[in-house]
Amino acid sequence: MVRIVSPKGTGFPDYTDILHRISVETYKEQSSWYWAAVPPFYFHINTNTWYVFQINPNIPENRELFLNTVVATVPSTRLLTLEIYSKDGDLVEKASEYQKVVFSVKEGIKYYHNTYIVIKVCVHATTTTTEYLTLYCYGLQQKRGVSVL
């Protein structure tokens, strides 16, 4: 039996409007933006001394930050050690390389509102002297609770 169905525009609902609104809003929920901390990134430091950098990323209350990249370099070929601490103060990353240390991971280390990024750096040398150090960080800030795809 063929049933006559009212065509569009004459009262038959097709939900297109609702579907469109749902899909667009879902995308907006996952919006995120890029974050960078670049303190005046040339530092004059002493060798064999641990330097602690405490960076306040100013994360709003409803957002979270994933720290993805930290790069430290020195102009010499000396050994450089980099330590990164989590929001709870735990050591989560430690690496030593000559001249340059790169921490770069896709997942990132998570930080919340009112938490600080603590990075410690030391340049090792057989004698005490001075060095120039560059340090910069990159991450992604997004709405808290949304999974990172």
Partner 1 sequence: MAKSITPRGVGRPDNEREVHRSAVPTPLIGQTSFSTATDFDLSAGEEYKYITISLNVPDGYRLIIRKIIVSIHQNLLIAVSASNLSWYHFCGGFGYKIVELTLYPGFPTTEDIKIYVRKYSSDEINGSITILGILEYTG
Q: Are 111 and 87 in contact (CB under 8 A)?
A: yes
Taken in order 71, 75, 77, 80, the sign of the CA dihedral is negative
Torsion of CA 52, 53, 56, 59, to 10 degrees: -100
Binding flag, residue 44, partner 1 (CB under 8 A)? no
Of 71, 60, 69, 70, nearest to 115 by C-alpha is 60
Measured from the CB of residue 132, what is the shortest distance to partner 1 in angstroms? Answer: 7
The DSSP symbol for 126 reads: S
Residue list 71-110, contact with partner 1 (CB under 8 A): 71, 73-75, 77, 99-100, 102, 104, 106
Whether 56 contacts 112, CB under 8 Å: no
Total binding residues for partner 1 by CB under 8 A?
40
Residues 6 or more apart in contact with residue 149 via CB below 8 angstroms: 30
42 binds partner 1 (CB under 8 A): yes
Select from 3-11, 45-53, 85-93, 115-123 the region that touches partner 1 (CB under 8 A): 3-11
Cβ closer to partner 1: 87 or 123?
Answer: 123
Distance in angstroms between the alpha carbons of the first and the last residue of the chain: 48
Provide, rounded to whole angstroms, the least separation between the CB of residue 73 and partner 1: 4
CB of 107 vs partner 1, minimal distance in Å: 11
Positions touching partner 1 (CB under 8 A) are 1-5, 8, 12, 14-16, 19-20, 23-24, 26-27, 33-34, 36, 38, 41-42, 68-69, 71, 73-75, 77, 99-100, 102, 104, 106, 132, 134, 136, 138-140
